[in-house]
Structure 1
Amino acid sequence: MNLKPSLFCAAFCAFCFLFQSTAFAEMVAIKGNNVNMRSGPGHKHEVLWKMGDGFPLQVIKRSGDWLRVRDFEGSEGWVNKSVISKDAHAVVKANKGSDRNVNIRKEPNTKSQVVATAIYGVVFRVLAKKDGWVQIQHENGVKGWIRQDLLWGI
């Protein structure tokens, strides 16, 4: 009996499952302000924290009208499907704990004019993607491009 093909097949299937779960993760965003992140699937569960409009989340599991989700820092909890949207949003994940800002540029390249800066945790609506850059817009009207590797949620 030759176990090599079976082991290879099992390893390949595990790799495909892991790749699928990260590469094709379902992303949602909060719609509304002061939305509760709960410890379990139901209104009776403890409120862990509150989230604002557009906050992006990765769906891990579904249970009826409830979604188990993960945020950009890896924290998990539950939200009701009535408070989520499929509109693409992203959050700045770069430069945590530093005083450096992430540049928002007029065009999608590093030579383009900086129109504004953003810090860790700022949420943007995603407008477009191009060559490793993401066109974003903040709720205050600021619009521009940020390198995709500096964002989470897209």
Structure 2
Amino acid sequence: MTLSRSLSRSLSGLFLSAFLILSASAADARQMISIDRPEVNMRTGASTRDAPLWTLSAGYPLLVIGQQGQWYKVRDFENDEGWVYRPLTAKKPHHVVKSKIVNLRSGPGTKHTVVGKAEYGEVLRTLGRRADWVRVRTSGGQIGWISGRLLWGW
């Protein structure tokens, strides 16, 4: 085998490896948004002429799965899909409770005191993270930590 052929194969392998790594990273990248008004309709299509599916409250987190003009196609924590108007959204991190009832703790871990509870579907403002724990603020203003596996969002 000649040196140039060997170099060519090595470069091809390098480019293939780089492509696979970048593809995996892109697949892991999620564009999350949140509702930035008191109430926003999630619709069946990318127009105000399309029927509303339901109304989403401020902060509700959504995963962007597509875009058409000024409209985002989105998915929620229950895997329901619809469309929201982009100017009514923001990049403010929020989570939603995906378990029936969760403990809000004074610190990031089960050894910390329970300072409150949150219920399924409740929208929480995300304040920070530490390992697998998320620091949140409830709509009532209470601040605490919840295990990330019990939440969906950022």
User: What interval of TM-score do these two structures reach, taking the shorter chain for normalisation?
Assistant: 0.7 to 0.9
**Which residue does the alignment assign to 1:6?**
none
Mapping 1:113-132, distance limit 5 Å? 113-132=113-132
Distance 2:150 2:39 in 1: 26
- Cα shift readout 1:34-89 (whole Å, capped 9, x = no counterpart): 21001111111111110000000000011110000000000000000111010000
Distance 2:147 2:25 in 1: 23
Question: Where has structure 1 moved over 3 Å in runs of 4 or more?
Answer: 15-21
Larger Rg: 2
- TM-score normalised by L of structure 2: 0.83
Following superposition, the deviation at residue 20 of structure 1 comes to 3.4
Distance 2:99 2:24 in 1: 24
Mapping 1:96-135, distance limit 5 Å? 101-135=101-135
Distance 2:106 2:34 in 1: 25
**Which residue does the alignment assign to 1:70?**
75
One-letter code of the match for 2:38? N
**Which residue does the alignment assign to 1:46?**
51
Q: Does 1:94 pair with 2:113?
A: no
Structure 1 residue ranges without an equivalent (≥5): 1-8, 96-100
Identity of aligned residues (%): 40
Following superposition, the deviation at residue 139 of structure 1 comes to 1.9
Aligned with 1:35 (options 29, 34, 40): 40
One-letter code of the match for 1:71? D
Q: 1:94 to 1:18 in 2, by over 3 A?
A: farther
Distance 1:148 1:20 in 2: 22
**Which residue does the alignment assign to 1:20?**
26
SS class of match (1:124): strand
One-letter code of the match for 1:110? T
Following superposition, the deviation at residue 33 of structure 1 comes to 2.0
Following superposition, the deviation at residue 19 of structure 1 comes to 6.4
Aligned residues: 139
Q: 1:108 to 1:28 in 2, by over 3 A?
A: same
- Cα shift readout 1:17-42 (whole Å, capped 9, x = no counterpart): 57633x21100000112210011111
Following superposition, the deviation at residue 119 of structure 1 comes to 1.2
Distance 1:41 1:17 in 2: 28
Distance 1:111 1:140 in 2: 24
